[in-house]
Amino acid sequence: MLQALFVPVLVSAGFRLLGVARTQALLRHWASSGRSRTQPPESAHSNIQAVCRAQRIAKRRFGVGGTCLTRSFTLWALLLRRGLSTDVRVGFRRSEGKLEGHAWVEYEGHPLNESRAVNGEYSVFKEPAAFDAWQPPDCWR
C-alpha cells in the first residue's frame, strides 16, 4: 500500500524533472533491484489483483493517481518488482477533431487497468512502450 501511495508521486516528479525515458529507466532499475522471483501463473492473478486494488485505494482515499501514463508506469513497476512482466501500451485516437493519447498496462495481452475494449478504441503501437530503450532511427542521426 505504501508503494501505491509514493510511487505515483515519484513518477510524476520524475516526468517533470527527468523526462519519461529516464523515469522509466529508474523505475525499471528500482523494480529489478527488489524483484522477487518470477511468479508462477497461479499466483500472478492474485498479485495483480492486490496491486490494482492498492492503486485504486490510493487514488480514491488519498487522491494519489495522476495521468494515465503515471498510473500505468506505477502499476507496471509495482508488478515488475513482484516478478510479473507486464507491458505498458500506448494508443491514440481522434475524438472531436483532436488527437488523444492513452496508456495502460497489459499482462499476457489483457488490459489490467482498462476495459478490454481499449484495444478497439485506440490505434495501439505494435510494440509495448519502452521509452527508456527507444533509439532514434538512423536517418535522424
pLDDT tens, position by position, 69-115: 999 999 999 999 999 999 999 999 998 999 999 999 999 999 999 99
Per-residue pLDDT of 8-46, as tens digits, reads: 999 999 999 999 999 999 999 999 887 666 667 678 889
CA 40 to chain centre: 21
pLDDT on residue 136: 62
Main-chain dihedrals φ then ψ at residue 128, nearest 5 degrees: -60, 155
Spatial contact of 84 and 41, defined as CB atoms under 8 Å apart: no
Inter-axis angle of helices 2-18 and 68-81, nearest 10: 120
Per-residue pLDDT of 51-65, as tens digits, reads: 999 999 999 999 888
Domain ranges of the chain: 2-140
Q: What is the DSSP string of 50-119?
A: HHHHHHHHHHHHH----SHHHHHHHHHHHHHHTT---EEEEEEEEETTEEEEEEEEEETTEESSS-TTHH
Spatial contact of 73 and 104, defined as CB atoms under 8 Å apart: no
Instruction: With cut-offs at 50, 70 and 90, classify the pLDDT of residue 68.
Output: very high
pLDDT on residue 141: 58
pLDDT on residue 23: 95
pLDDT on residue 37: 65
Q: In residues, how long is the chain?
A: 141
Which of helix, strand or coil describes residue 40?
coil
E strand or H helix at 123: strand 123-124
pLDDT on residue 57: 93
Three cell numbers, residue 87:
507491458
pTM for the complete prediction?
Answer: 0.86
pLDDT on residue 17: 96
